[in-house]
Amino acid sequence: MDNQRHDPDTDIYDPGYVANLFDRCSPRYRWWSAISSFGFVAIWRHQCVQRLVAPKSTDPVAVDLMAGTGEVWPHLLRRFPNLRRITALDISHRMHAEAVARLHGRYAHKINHIESDALQSDLPEAYADLVVSTFGLKTFNPEQQRVLARQIERILKPGGCFSLIEASDPKKWMLRPIYRFYLDSVLPLIERFLLSGANDFGMLGTYTRNFGDCARMVEALEAAGLSVTMKSHFFGCATSVAGSKPPVARPTRQPTCA
Ligand SMILES: C[S@@+](CC[C@H](N)C(=O)[O-])C[C@H]1O[C@@H](n2cnc3c(N)ncnc32)[C@H](O)[C@@H]1O
């Protein structure tokens, strides 16, 4: 069944298109994603952060790629209270604005917002001890995933860790037809009735179907030189990929001439 919900001539992976889509979703993003996933998104964010290994630095820096409204920050700060800074990168102006509007005073000073395309980020090399991303992969096609993997390798410090999670298509799950029916038909219908005929969140079903799971991101990260392991969450309804950048190799001592 073709559940295409967009003009076939539209490039749904164009960063401008994606930014506009999330600009429109932004006012309702938090509650809609929590309710429509029956709270699973919060569990998955927690599990994603749990996969990060504690950095050796005493005041580490984390980068939250495709940060949206910053839902992962409380999880990050609970796990790593000594984080010096979270650099939150997102392409959507309104997702940033929503995040700023609801920032809790207690840790607002730790968040540094950057509105930019993660594929072209000019964050310095070896900038971050940790890189995290929750539900920000599905809007990248395979070539873009390769670019993103190289960006992650570039901005991580040697020995730094990353963890990324994304909603996935549980191809082997017995209940997949019900899950797909829910994503592809029920959610868009609810959206149309409750959200003035909008069809923005409805696109997430299309992205998830095309994305499949994190397997291609695993290949891309390995090709970029990172060590990687993939994990399945709740029968494959989400998959995560976590790993690290190899520490700097110690220079081997060359024999000296007498
Ligand atoms: C589904 S939301 C996830 C937000 C948040 N991380 C969370 O856990 O709820 C995906 C986010 O990725 C952002 N995004 C998509 N493509 C991007 C790109 N090329 N560069 C930066 N951000 C991007 C969108 O603007 C959106 O805020």
Query: Ligand 1 pocket test: which of 11, 32, 91, 100 has the largest number of ligand atoms within 8 Å of its C-beta?
Result: 91
Q: Could you read off the pLDDT of 188-234 as tens digits, one per residue?
A: 888 777 765 556 677 888 899 999 999 999 999 999 999 999 999 99
Q: What is the pLDDT of residue 161?
A: 98
pTM of the model: 0.92
Atom of ligand 1 nearest to the CA of 118: 20
Q: What is the pLDDT of residue 160?
A: 97
In the reported structure, the alpha carbon of residue 66 is separated from the centroid of ligand 1 by a whole-number distance in angstroms of 3
Ligand 1, residues at Cβ distance < 6 Å: 15, 18-19, 22, 33, 45, 66-68, 71-72, 89-92, 95, 117-119, 134-136, 139
Q: What is the pLDDT of residue 253?
A: 63
Decide which of 28 and 242 is more confident.
242
In the reported structure, the alpha carbon of residue 186 is separated from the centroid of ligand 1 by a whole-number distance in angstroms of 23
All domains of the chain in start order, with CATH: 30-244 (3.40.50.150)
Query: Ligand 1 pocket test: which of 11, 13, 22, 120 has the largest number of ligand atoms within 8 Å of its C-beta?
Result: 22
Q: Whose CA is nearest to atom 19 of ligand 1?
A: 117
Average confidence score pLDDT of the chain: 90
In the reported structure, the alpha carbon of residue 141 is separated from the centroid of ligand 1 by a whole-number distance in angstroms of 14
For 180, residues 6+ apart whose C-beta sits below 8 A from its C-beta are 169, 205, 209
Q: Whose CA is nearest to atom 8 of ligand 1?
A: 134
Atom of ligand 1 nearest to the CA of 95: 27
Average pLDDT (145-173) is: 97
Question: Does residue 5 register a pLDDT over 50?
Answer: yes
Atom of ligand 1 nearest to the CA of 119: 19
For 30, residues 6+ apart whose C-beta sits below 8 A from its C-beta are 69, 71, 98
Q: What is the pLDDT of residue 126?
A: 97
Q: Whose CA is nearest to atom 13 of ligand 1?
A: 66
Atom of ligand 1 nearest to the CA of 70: 5
Question: Does residue 238 register a pLDDT over 80?
Answer: yes
Question: Does residue 3 register a pLDDT over 70?
Answer: no
| CA 245 to chain CA mean position, Å | 18
Q: Could you read off the pLDDT of 46-81 as tens digits, one per residue?
A: 999 999 999 999 999 999 999 999 999 999 999 999
